[in-house]
Amino acid sequence: MLTRSQVKSFISRYPDFRDEVLSIHYAPRMPKAMVKETQKIVALARKFNDEIARPLFLELDRKTHENPEFLPWDLVKKANEWGFYTMWMPKVFGGKGYNMPSIAYFSEEIGSVCLGIANVIGVHYLGVAGLMMAGNTRVIKKVMNDVVQGEKTGDPCLIALAITEPMAGTDVEEIELEDRGKITCHVRKVKGGYIVNGTKIFISMGRLSKWTVLYGYTNLKKSSENTVVMMVKQGMKGFTYGTHENKMGQRICTADVLNFEDCFVPDELVILDPERAKGFTKQKSRDVKMRHLDYVLSLSRPVVGSFGTSAARGAFEAALRFANEAEIDGKPMISYEWVQCRLAEMYSNVRLGRLAYAEANLANQHRGVYNILQMKPIYYYLKYLPLAFFNNVLSPLLTNRSIGTWLMSKWYLDGQKPEDQHLCTGLGSLAKFNGTDIGVKNCQIALELMGQTGMRHENGMEKILRDAKLLQIYEGTNQLNRINVFKSLIAPACPKAKIFEE
Ligand SMILES: Cc1cc2nc3c(=O)[nH]c(=O)nc-3n(C[C@H](O)[C@H](O)[C@H](O)COP(=O)(O)OP(=O)(O)OC[C@H]3O[C@@H](n4cnc5c(N)ncnc54)[C@H](O)[C@@H]3O)c2cc1C
């Protein structure tokens, strides 16, 4: 038999078995209460689908065709009433503190009925991630307090994230490409803050969000080293909206143009800049920026993977309904072997998409940004601690003193080993391109099975395809996400490979 050191040497050889099969290593460590909590969330999503999403989604889509400027305020108010905008915010900042991976299962449920509605809820957490991953606890508290108050008063407060620019989409999501892109959102340091000039495009729910995480650059030629991340609020002088995109799918979730013309943002709302980062870490500004982006995207891309999986599931369920009802030559369609094989393929795609985002979640849980929160003692401590303790002890400790920001920033910037960073970003990208590609693939199979019936608006199938298609460019194109998988998970085995050269 093998000695202990031989076992270690064999399993750590590329591909490292511990990185390849996260489920067998980490599933036993999952707190039992987390499974119950996740079931509760999935049940809630199903109830929301029955009562709100299913009766509404086609009518909402039709309304956006009749009036492309239609804004889904009523839907946002409903989601706010159901508590969805504080659900995955930490308790210490006033949220409900549900476990982070459960948002992916929640999104799959809502998205299986309507991806637009799933994004109206889900993209708020892209903003939450951008804000959280900068580590400035004072600003996090301020903004999240508005979200909590918005829930209490019935006046929703959402957070958007604005990084994409008219000439830079892929480029601003990958540090290696950033300095080659045509970036234009300029910020200039002045006394007490920054002056912002520039335009952001394709900002989901931008117009409906009270707060936006904005990425600007003091030097447009070397943006990767000169990024300033700041919070901007609706109504600030010099901050206006352009027309929103008339996009093919997910139409109920607006994609907005944000214009900044000599907009002054005070220092108190700056959450990350190269000077500030120097106080917490010895890393270079470029690496700080990459780490921040990696954290945000490794959290959000598995959720986009779950969106894609939900499209695959929506298409599967539509095809299944059709095959159960239709007849060919007087025989039930569902009895034909070729139909059963196509349905089995669709079902398999759904399960594979789910496995991919579940693995990415496991990476984040145990090797990524919120690994501390998933350790059993800490998870149970935070779950059952009385709310008063969060409000009166933990929250003031974290937010009233600079030690809170220092601790959180230090943890974010220096707390993760580079190999764990690669694992989390690689698996996030894998979940994203895999889930969104199978989403489109299942739509194509469903339309083949359903023929013309699938193209009727009332069946919802052509809408699923329109919605799913957009996911392939959401959070970086799938080409970029594939390169990211190569860079993070395959390149270590290819010493001669050059990336982003050709
Ligand atoms: C539904 C939806 C919601 C969105 N929501 C938001 C949001 O809330 N906030 C936000 O900031 N952004 C948002 N976006 C924007 C999104 O992140 C960008 O669309 C995405 O990053 C791709 O950028 P792009 O569309 O400019 O494509 P481009 O970057 O122009 O890419 C076009 C094509 O060129 C290829 N390409 C580009 N550069 C390279 C290169 N250097 N090497 C090789 N190939 C390259 C790409 O792979 C792609 O095939 C959203 C997009 C969608 C579709």
Cα distance between residue 147 and residue 143, in whole Å: 7
Minimal CA–CA distance to 212: which of 170, 274, 257, 261?
257
Instruction: Decide yes or no: CATH 2.40.110.10 for domain 159-273.
Output: yes
Please tell me the predicted confidence (pLDDT) of residue 281.
85
Cα distance between residue 310 and residue 112, in whole Å: 4
CB-based contact 157:124 (threshold 8 Å): no
Residue with CA closest to ligand 1 atom 18: 169
Residue with CA closest to ligand 1 atom 14: 202
pTM given for the model: 0.95
Please tell me the predicted confidence (pLDDT) of residue 486.
96
Long-range contacts formed by 80-86: CB under 8 A, 24+ apart: 80/150, 80/151, 80/154, 80/156, 81/154, 82/44, 82/48, 82/52, 83/151, 84/121, 85/121, 85/124, 85/147, 85/150, 85/151, 85/156, 85/157, 85/158, 86/144, 86/147, 86/148, 86/151
Residue with CA closest to ligand 1 atom 23: 169
Minimal CA–CA distance to 488: which of 130, 175, 105, 183?
175
Name the residue ranges covered by the structural domains of the chain. Answer: 17-157+287-493, 159-273
CB-based contact 302:428 (threshold 8 Å): yes
Pairing outcome for strands 193-204 and 186-190: antiparallel
- Beta bridge partners, 418, equal none
Please tell me the predicted confidence (pLDDT) of residue 321.
96
Residue with CA closest to ligand 1 atom 31: 170
Inter-axis angle of helices 285-325 and 461-471, to 10 degrees? 160
CA–CA–CA angle 188, 189, 195 (5° rounding) = 50
Question: 438 alpha carbon to ligand 1 midpoint, in Å?
Answer: 19
Question: 164 alpha carbon to ligand 1 midpoint, in Å?
Answer: 7
Residue with CA closest to ligand 1 atom 7: 203
Cα distance between residue 3 and residue 338, in whole Å: 51
CA–CA–CA angle 399, 402, 405 (5° rounding) = 70
Question: 360 alpha carbon to ligand 1 midpoint, in Å?
Answer: 22
What residues contact residue 264 under an 8 Å CB cut-off, 6+ apart? 190, 193, 194, 195, 196, 236, 237, 238
Q: Name the H helices within 154-273.
A: 175-178
CA distances from 384 to 41, 81, 102, 255, 344 (A): 18, 24, 18, 39, 42
> Whats the size of the chain, residue-wise?
502
Which of 467, 474, 486 to probe ligand 1 with, by most ligand atoms within 8 A of CB? 474
Positions of the chain with pLDDT under 50: none
CB-based contact 303:104 (threshold 8 Å): yes
Question: 378 alpha carbon to ligand 1 midpoint, in Å?
Answer: 38
The sign one gets for the Cα dihedral 259, 263, 265, 271 is positive
Cα distance between residue 15 and residue 493, in whole Å: 8
Token reading at 294:
């990696």
Cα distance between residue 35 and residue 12, in whole Å: 30
- Beta bridge partners, 240, equal 259
Region class of 484: left (phi > 0), else alpha (psi between -120 and 50), else beta: alpha
Residue with CA closest to ligand 1 atom 17: 475
Q: Which CATH class is domain 17-157+287-493?
A: mainly alpha
Which of 64, 164, 310 to probe ligand 1 with, by most ligand atoms within 8 A of CB? 164
Cα distance between residue 355 and residue 443, in whole Å: 19
Cα distance between residue 76 and residue 325, in whole Å: 35
SS (H, E, C) 286-333: HHHHHHHHHHHHHHHHHHHHHHHHHHHHHHHHHHHHHHHHCEECCEEH
Radius of gyration of the chain (CA): 23
Q: Convert the pLDDT of each residue in 374-383 to its tens digit.
A: 888 888 988 8
SS3 202: strand
CB-based contact 424:487 (threshold 8 Å): no
Q: Which residues line ligand 1 (CB under 6 A)?
A: 123, 161-164, 169-170, 173, 177, 202-204, 250, 255, 470, 473-477, 479-480
